[in-house]
Amino acid sequence: MAQLQVKPTRMELTNLKKKRKVAARGHKLMKDKRDEMVRRFIAYARRNKELREQVEQKLSAAMGQFVLARAEMSGEAIEEALAYPARPATVSVDTQHVLSLKMPKLSLETSDTFDYPYGFMNTSAELDSAVSAFAEVLPMLIELAEVEKICNSLADEIEKTRRRVNALEYVMIPQFDEAIREIKMKLDENDRGNTTRLMKTKEMLANRE
């Protein structure tokens, strides 16, 4: 570990003690922030797992209904039936703050009413079920995308904060402690030398008398 290059003076000792105190305070704050981010990350990760399982289950069921619909209807009939959306949908992107970090906030805006975009004369009941299931899973997909992005951002920030905490704990603070110890030893050595010289001077003066 590289050592700090400092002058063995009392002013330098005072400055190092102040820097060490600031580093220790910063270490505690970042450690607390890291711990809170880990707690939030775990909560979002659990929500992400829950959403993903629900989305996969619903998408699988919807695709199953769609496959059955394709077996009963021609490709042209399905394309014509799905040429228009069941209801208009808009995804708006905003920002939210999680522990002072900017995170995406996705909002799905749709109409309150749901209408099939086709008549029922030339379509199958399986297509109705598939369209309804896809419409139902869309809000969950939007939330899943938001939660996954937050999880990724938190994971990156946790890693950055962990590196800063380790740098303070294992590099900077030990360097300050070592430099303070060396300066104290040097100052004590100088004090002992000055005391010895003063005693010898007094002894010499006393002998002259």
Say what the alpha-carbon torsion angle 50, 51, 54, 56 is, to the nearest 10 degrees.
-120
Say if residue 1's pLDDT is above 60.
no
Q: What's the pLDDT score for residue 135?
A: 83
**67 vs 206: CA distance, rounded Å:** 113
**Residue matched to tokens 């890693």:** 159
* 3-class DSSP state of 6: coil
b/e code 58-80 from CB counts within 10 Å (16+ = b): beeebeebbebbbeebeeebbee
In the block, which residue shows the tokens 């021609």?
Answer: 74
Within 10 angstroms of residue 48's Cβ, the number of other Cβ atoms is 19
pLDDT of residue 175: 92
Look at residue 102 and give its three-state secondary structure. Answer: strand
Q: Residue 107 in 3-state DSSP?
A: strand
Whether the CB-CB separation of 168 and 26 falls below 8 Å is answered with yes
Determine how many CB atoms are found less than 10 A away from the CB of residue 41.
19
Are 51 and 143 spatial neighbours (Cβ–Cβ below 8 Å)? yes
Decide if pLDDT at 126 tops 60.
Answer: yes
Give the residue-averaged pLDDT of 168-197: 87
Range 40-55 average pLDDT = 96
Residue 148 has pLDDT above 90, yes or no: yes
CB atoms within 10 A of CB 177: 12
